[in-house]
């Protein structure tokens, strides 16, 4: 029977985009499994291992850049303060705006006294200018951009890893490792399917250790 054209290919793993991103470490028995399966050794014959190494480099670069941009953002916030403002509306209520464009939307709606609005816009613009100037000095936006680019590379390589057939236990372990590190919320997460995947990875390591030559 001919293959159906209605099949759907699901992503290997959906990357969590929330910032700051928390790195999910491969620890304990997972590290032992990877060691037993020779994943960290030179195995150029398995294309999945080679692809895993490329993915891991991009993944680790993303994590490093994420930590750096968070550090720079904290420095910006502590030195300049996040651009935001609470403004008094004509009906007696107040509104908090988080960007100059949002403030201008409020002003265009006629909800703020003209004189109050003009001063608020000037003050917010000055604050934003201080933020932008210090951003340029420390490189926050550039680091954030580099992080996004590295994350995109890691996503692309992750999909390539999913499409690359493994030819050894090391290749199987590589794919399982990538799934855990990208998708597992925490190293001991008890929700399906994470304990099951960890168990399979341990099995791969155990079998790999048994089949290694002395």
Q: Is the pLDDT confidence value at 22 over 90?
A: no
pLDDT digits (tens, 9 = 90+) for 103-135: 999 999 888 999 999 999 999 999 999 999 999
pLDDT digits (tens, 9 = 90+) for 189-209: 999 999 999 999 999 988 987
Determine the pLDDT at residue 138.
98
pLDDT digits (tens, 9 = 90+) for 149-176: 999 999 999 999 999 999 999 999 999 9
Kindly indicate the confidence band of residue 5, based on its pLDDT and cuts at 50, 70 and 90. very low
Q: Which of 82, 85, 78, 80 is nearest to 124 (CA)?
A: 85
Give the Cα separation of 167 and 98 in Å (integer).
53
Determine the pLDDT at residue 187.
86
Q: Which of 154, 155, 194, 188 is nearest to 176 (CA)?
A: 194
Total length of the chain: 214
Q: Is the pLDDT confidence value at 10 over 80?
A: no
Q: Give 13's contacts (C-beta < 8 A, 6+ positions apart).
A: 158, 162, 178, 179, 182, 183
Average pLDDT, the chain: 83
Residue written as token pair 């265009």: 108
Determine the pLDDT at residue 45.
84
Query: What are 88's strand-pairing partners?
Result: 94
CA 8, 9, 13, 14: dihedral to nearest 10 degrees?
Answer: -50
Greater confidence (97 vs 45) lies with 97
pLDDT digits (tens, 9 = 90+) for 53-91: 999 999 999 999 999 999 999 999 999 999 999 998 888
Residue written as token pair 């935001």: 84
Which tokens hold the place of 213?
Answer: 């030559």
């Amino acid at each position: 029977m001919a293959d159906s054209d209605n099949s759907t290919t699901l992503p290997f793993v959906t990357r969590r985009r929330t910032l700051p991103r928390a790195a999910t470490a491969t620890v304990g028995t997972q590290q032992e499994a990877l060691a037993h399966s020779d994943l960290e050794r030179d195995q150029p014959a398995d294309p999945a291992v080679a692809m895993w190494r490329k993915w891991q480099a991009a993944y680790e670069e993303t994590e490093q850049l994420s930590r750096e941009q968070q550090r720079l953002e904290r420095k910006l916030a502590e030195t300049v303060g996040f651009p935001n403002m609470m403004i008094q509306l004509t009906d007696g209520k107040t509104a908090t705006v988080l960007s100059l464009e949002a403030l201008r939307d409020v002003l265009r709606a006629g909800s703020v006294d003209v004189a109050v609005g003009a001063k608020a816009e000037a003050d917010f613009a000055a604050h934003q200018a201080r933020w932008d100037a210090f951003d340029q000095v420390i490189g926050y936006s550039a680091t954030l951009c580099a992080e996004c680019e590295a994350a995109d590379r890691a996503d692309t390589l992750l999909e390539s890893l999913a499409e690359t057939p493994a030819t050894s236990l090391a290749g199987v372990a590589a794919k399982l490792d990538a799934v855990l590190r990208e998708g597992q919320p925490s190293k001991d997460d008890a929700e399906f399917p994470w304990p099951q995947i960890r168990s399979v990875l341990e099995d791969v390591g155990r079998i790999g250790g048994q089949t290694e030559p002395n």
